[in-house]
A and B are shown apart, each in its own frame.
Chain A
Amino acid sequence: MKDSCSSISRLLEKYFDQEPTDKERLLVESHLQDCTACKGALKSMEELRTAIKVPVEEALQKEDFPWVWQNIERQIRLQEKLTWWQSIRSWLDISPLFQRKVWIPAVATAAVLLFITTQIIFKNTSSYPGASVVEYVESETNNVMVYDLEKAKVTVIWLFEGPEEEALPS
């Protein structure tokens, strides 16, 4: 191989792929006239291409694509009958917003806010959260329950207006 072969090798590949400029083509053809090594390299590339391409073409010629289109149609039909849950998932997959996962921090923040708000609302509306019964007194007219609220330091006496059935002696 001549010294100039190394500089021509990339052009040789372009020439083989039919992509050279006119100038490059002339350069390669002039080089090939008296370089058997590069002619051999060109032949090698041709043989390699044949070895890669021929089996594919042979396989294609034999192929009659049995049921391929029918299977495609069937698969598409099956995918159209999605359940509501699959539809949501599919929508989430397709939506570019959801694909980018930018919604995760927003949803997490909303969930935390919802939790905090719920706690505040329930705290304000609940009569005696965390109260525990410390004494229970039964009588014929009233039942008395004594609650102890630790935080508020308040004792609440709850009087039932009438005796409960289960509280009556048997």
Chain B
Amino acid sequence: MNHEETETISRCQQGDQEALKEIYDKYHKKVYRIAYGVVRQREDALDIVQEVFIKLFRSIKNFKGRSHFYTYLYRMVMNTAIDHSRKVGKRFIQSLDEEGSFEPSDGVEKGPERILLQKELEERVKLAMDKLPAEQKAAIIFRDVEGLSYQEMAEAMGCSIGTVMSRLHYGRKRIQELLKDYVMLHDQSRGGQNSSKL
């Protein structure tokens, strides 16, 4: 945390809204990225961004500077996003099992159909993410979306590096299991050209 940021946080702790605006300008895209990673709905992600900065303004006095400010903020974002998705997210959660069988397109590697396949895969991944426990989901988003290091993740999640690695491992493994049937069909449709096991 640099001196300028420390000074901004200190002003914000004294109730200075201009300081909050500076923090917002610096972090709102990162906050949105994490929020969107969890809820995957634009309006919900924007609601979370608002909620997080309002909460931050109210509770920033509790930030003692013992950790990085961004890990403190990211933890708040993740908790808010997970709470939000628990409250309203049920309507988005569909079961992979209940969705019916998916018929992949023929083995066309390029062009619109390839794009379609990619979109379908993304959709499948979203649904699989919803099946993960909150901690594993948070670990994957922090690492794969936000690119945090294990150390930063441990700080943001309030756990050890070993726990971070474990959450990542089991989360990824679970997603791969959930996507296994889809990928097998996908590979068959492409004549087994791709040995990827995703």
Q: Which residues of A contact B (CB under 8 A)?
A: 10, 13-14, 17, 19, 36, 40-41, 43-45, 47-49, 51-57, 59-60, 63, 65, 68-69, 71-73, 75-76, 79
9 inter-chain pairs at a CB distance below 8 angstroms, sorted by A residue, are A10-B169, A13-B168, A13-B169, A17-B168, A44-B197, A49-B144, A60-B33, A60-B36, A68-B28
Q: How far is the CB of B49 from chain A (nearest CB, A)?
A: 6
B125 contacts which chain A residues (CB < 8 A)? 48, 51-52
B129 in contact with A52 (CB, 8 Å): yes
* A37→B142 CA distance, assembly (Å): 27
* A14→B172 CA distance, assembly (Å): 13
Q: How far is the CB of A12 from chain B (nearest CB, A)?
A: 10
A17 contacts which chain B residues (CB < 8 A)? 143, 150, 168
A10 in contact with B42 (CB, 8 Å): no
For the side of the interface on B, what is the size category?
A: 35 or more
B57 interface hit (Cβ, 8 Å) = yes
* A148→B44 CA distance, assembly (Å): 75
B196 interface hit (Cβ, 8 Å) = yes
A55 contacts which chain B residues (CB < 8 A)? 40, 122, 126
B49 in contact with A65 (CB, 8 Å): yes
Query: Which chain A residue lies CB-closest to B140?
Result: A52
B46 contacts which chain A residues (CB < 8 A)? 63, 65, 68
B21 in contact with A69 (CB, 8 Å): yes
Main secondary structure of the interface of A (DSSP, over half): helix
* A48→B36 CA distance, assembly (Å): 17
B50 interface neighbour in A41, A48, A68, A79, Cβ under 8 Å:
A68
* A71→B176 CA distance, assembly (Å): 40
B197 contacts which chain A residues (CB < 8 A)? 40-41, 44
A48 in contact with B143 (CB, 8 Å): no
A52 in contact with B144 (CB, 8 Å): yes
B28 in contact with A13 (CB, 8 Å): no
Q: How far is the CB of A99 from chain B (nearest CB, A)?
A: 11
By Cβ-Cβ distance, the 8 closest A-B pairs, closest first, are A44-B198, A51-B125, A47-B198, A49-B144, A44-B197, A72-B53, A52-B144, A40-B195
B196 in contact with A59 (CB, 8 Å): no
* A63→B197 CA distance, assembly (Å): 33
A56 interface neighbour in B36, B53, B118, Cβ under 8 Å:
B36
B1-31 CB mask vs A (1 if < 8 Å, else 0) is 0000000000000000100110010001100
* A160→B128 CA distance, assembly (Å): 90
